[in-house]
């Protein structure tokens, strides 16, 4: 049997991030991973919903991996690339590793998903 995703209403790029489709909606089994000592969570969001620290990290990752290639053809422009990465139609799937705190620690460190992405209410 072939999985056929349910049709979704069209997304209007000018409507903002609140109306952006969840890229992981059809794959709930892939939202969390907890095996072989690695615990991670995948989060789908529009660029407008990215915390500034994550947006800066995404830009730095893109620059580290793509600047040399861009320089051979078009040239790299930080401001232009940041604008592209923040465009209304830009979508991200971010993988957060989950930090496990030992019960023996009197004051566990404030790390993990909460440090970059506040919980939704």
Q: Is the pTM of this model over 0.85?
A: no
46 within a domain of the structure (yes/no): yes
8 within a domain of the structure (yes/no): no
22 within a domain of the structure (yes/no): yes
Domain range holding 48?
17-115
Q: How many domains does the chain have?
A: 1
> Residue-wise pLDDT tens for the chain (121 aa)?
344 444 433 434 444 444 568 899 999 998 998 888 888 899 999 999 989 999 999 999 999 999 999 999 999 999 999 999 999 999 999 988 876 554 444 444 444 444 444 444 3
Q: How many CA atoms lie within 13 A of 45 on its CB side?
A: 14
Tokens, residue 19: 């109306």
75 within a domain of the structure (yes/no): yes
7 within a domain of the structure (yes/no): no
As to burial, measured by CB atoms within 10 angstroms (0-12 exposed, 13-18 middle, 19+ buried), residue 81 is: middle
67 within a domain of the structure (yes/no): yes
72 within a domain of the structure (yes/no): yes
96 within a domain of the structure (yes/no): yes
């Amino acid at each position: 049997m072939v999985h056929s995703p349910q049709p979704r209403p069209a997304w209007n790029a000018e409507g903002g991030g609140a109306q952006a489709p969840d890229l992981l909606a059809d794959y709930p089994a892939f939202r969390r991973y907890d095996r072989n000592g690695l615990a991670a969570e995948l989060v789908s969001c529009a660029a407008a919903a990215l915390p500034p620290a994550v947006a800066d990290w995404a830009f730095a990752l893109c620059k580290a991996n793509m600047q040399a290639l861009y320089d051979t053809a078009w040239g790299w422009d930080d401001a232009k690339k940041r604008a592209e990465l923040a465009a209304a139609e830009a979508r991200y799937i971010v993988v957060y590793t989950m930090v496990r705190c030992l019960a023996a620690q009197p004051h566990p460190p404030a790390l993990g998903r909460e440090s970059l992405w506040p919980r939704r209410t």
